[in-house]
Amino acid sequence: MIYLDNSATTAVDEDVLEKMIPWFRTDYGNASSIYSIGRRARVAIEESRSIIASLINAHPAEIIFTSGGTESNNTILKSCVYESHLVDRLAVGATEHHAILYPMEQLQTDGVECSVIPVNEYGIADSEVLAQLNNKRTLISIMHANNETGIIQSLNIVRGQCPEALVHTDAVQSFCKIPFDVEEMGIDFASFSAHKIHGPKGIGAMYIRKGIDLKAHQQGGGQERNRRAGTEATALIVGFAYAAKKAHDEMEKRSIIMQERISLLRTLLNDMDGIRFNTPESGSMPNILNISFADADSLDGDAIIQSLDIHGIAASNGSACVSGSTQPSHVLMAMGRSKAEARAAVRFSVSKDTTEDDVRTAAAALHDIMASLRG
């Protein structure tokens, strides 16, 4: 199989797996226990917290472990309103992940004032609309890198337009792939996940700026400084920190490899009839290429993905699959693409392990598939 869906998830690196095993096998103590097997887990968790903090220029006390990006996003949005009473309004980008859009819809149903910030044809939030949202009782959520197109948004611009508001960013796709410095960006909250960077699934973190009293949304024990209840998943936390440090240390090297693969793919697909690159060549993630076709009306997006699968290639259409039916991508629609184009898009996402041959094989397969679909 040629795996070109690394924005969905990545393979866990062998050394990451090895780092985790002792915390399942021998050092399985509960980090809240006061005897030595518990204390060892506590030390490992606090070391991991310090590692994650150092990678984004944060203080360890500003990092709270969660089960991943979805939980971090939900917690920040909902706790800001329900438990912490920090804001009365919420504004989110139109191209956000559903782990932002659906909690927002829930809040709206509950009577909270919510708005969606429109984006331009590249997926960048409208800065004039942003400027109107500047208010200290407003939470603004703008993702750092989009999971479907890879476009990167400047959080400095968001902060510049909204100096008073609370600013959250979903950084699941960008974390440890491109530089991320919470001080330099001036953000208040961020969400991260381990499984996009060759770490385990089911673990992630939230960054909460010092001084912000974000209360637990998930309640129970007093873990994570009373901000996220639940016995800490020591093995996953250790694996997360190790994978993140490794990705951060190798950021430049990995970025060059991924950029080379994506640019080769772009070149190999460039002469396809009616192809449209939804990922701009600059200002986007090094690992993502999203394409669609001018004759999308007569194309079946699912058939493209399924035919790639038959050729042994895993790629995604980037759009949500709800109850077995493919919905047009809300991201591409927000960028002004037609419904048909938004339904028949293909997202390729490479990793540090993707080879040139993988890319050549995938491009050749797509040429064949499109020729046969067009009859």
Among 143, 308, 359, 365, binds ligand PLP (CB under 6 A): 143
The distance of closest approach from Cβ of residue 223 to ligand PLP in the complex, given in angstroms and rounded to an integer, is 19
Q: Is 107 helix (H, G, I), strand (E, B) or coil?
A: helix
Among 10, 70, 223, 351, binds ligand PLP (CB under 6 A): 70
Burial class of 163 by CB neighbour count within 10 A (0 to 12, 13 to 18, 19+): exposed
Q: Is 188 helix (H, G, I), strand (E, B) or coil?
A: coil
The distance of closest approach from Cβ of residue 70 to ligand PLP in the complex, given in angstroms and rounded to an integer, is 3
Q: Given the DSSP bridges, would you call strands 138-141 and 166-170 parallel, antiparallel or unpaired?
A: parallel
**38 is written with which tokens?**
């518990």
Note whether 239 binds ligand PLP by CB under 6 A. Answer: no
Q: Which segment (166-174, 243-251, 252-260, 288-296) binds ligand PLP by CB under 6 A? A: 166-174
**374 is written with which tokens?**
């067009």
Give the DSSP H or E segment for 66: strand 63-66
Token pair 């708005």 in the structure block, residue:
115
Q: Give the DSSP letter of residue 284.
A: B
Q: Which of 207/293 has CB closer to ligand PLP? A: 207
Say how far apart CA 120 and CA 109 lie, in whole Å: 27
* Residues in the chain, total: 375
Q: Which of 143/236 has CB closer to ligand PLP? A: 143
The distance of closest approach from Cβ of residue 68 to ligand PLP in the complex, given in angstroms and rounded to an integer, is 3
The distance of closest approach from Cβ of residue 228 to ligand PLP in the complex, given in angstroms and rounded to an integer, is 14
**113 is written with which tokens?**
């004032």
Q: Which segment (63-71, 266-274, 287-295, 333-341) binds ligand PLP by CB under 6 A? A: 63-71
Q: Which of 331/363 has CB closer to ligand PLP? A: 331
Among 3, 6, 69, 328, binds ligand PLP (CB under 6 A): 69
The distance of closest approach from Cβ of residue 25 to ligand PLP in the complex, given in angstroms and rounded to an integer, is 25
The site string for ligand PLP over 167-206 (x = CB under 6 A, - otherwise) reads: ---x-xx-------------------x----------x--
Q: CA–CA distance from 269 to each of 161, 254, 349, 356 (Å)?
A: 38, 23, 15, 14
Q: Which of 69/103 has CB closer to ligand PLP? A: 69
Among 79, 141, 147, 284, binds ligand PLP (CB under 6 A): 147
Among 64, 68, 150, 258, binds ligand PLP (CB under 6 A): 68
Question: Cα-flanking dihedrals φ and ψ of residue 216, to 5°?
Answer: -60, 135
Say how far apart CA 218 and CA 127 lie, in whole Å: 34
Q: Which of residues 344-373 bind ligand PLP (CB under 6 A)?
A: none
Q: By the 8 A CB rule, do 152 and 144 touch?
A: yes
Amino acid in position 338 = S
Q: Is 262 helix (H, G, I), strand (E, B) or coil?
A: helix
The site string for ligand PLP over 79-118 (x = CB under 6 A, - otherwise) reads: ------------------x-x-------------------
Q: Which of 233/269 has CB closer to ligand PLP? A: 233
**126 is written with which tokens?**
């409208």
Within 10 angstroms of residue 318's Cβ, the number of other Cβ atoms is 28
Nearest CA-CA partner of 189 in 159, 153, 223: 159
The distance of closest approach from Cβ of residue 331 to ligand PLP in the complex, given in angstroms and rounded to an integer, is 10
Nearest CA-CA partner of 192 in 58, 70, 98, 11: 70
The distance of closest approach from Cβ of residue 329 to ligand PLP in the complex, given in angstroms and rounded to an integer, is 13
Catalytic residue among 114, 162, 176, 321: 321
The distance of closest approach from Cβ of residue 147 to ligand PLP in the complex, given in angstroms and rounded to an integer, is 3
Q: Which of 5/188 has CB closer to ligand PLP? A: 5
Q: Which of 200/301 has CB closer to ligand PLP? A: 200
User: Maximum distance among all alpha carbons in the chain?
Assistant: 70
- Asked about 321 being catalytic, the answer comes back as yes
Chain contacts with ligand PLP (rule: CB under 6 A)? 68-70, 97, 99, 143, 147, 170, 172-173, 193, 204
Q: Which residues are catalytic?
A: 321
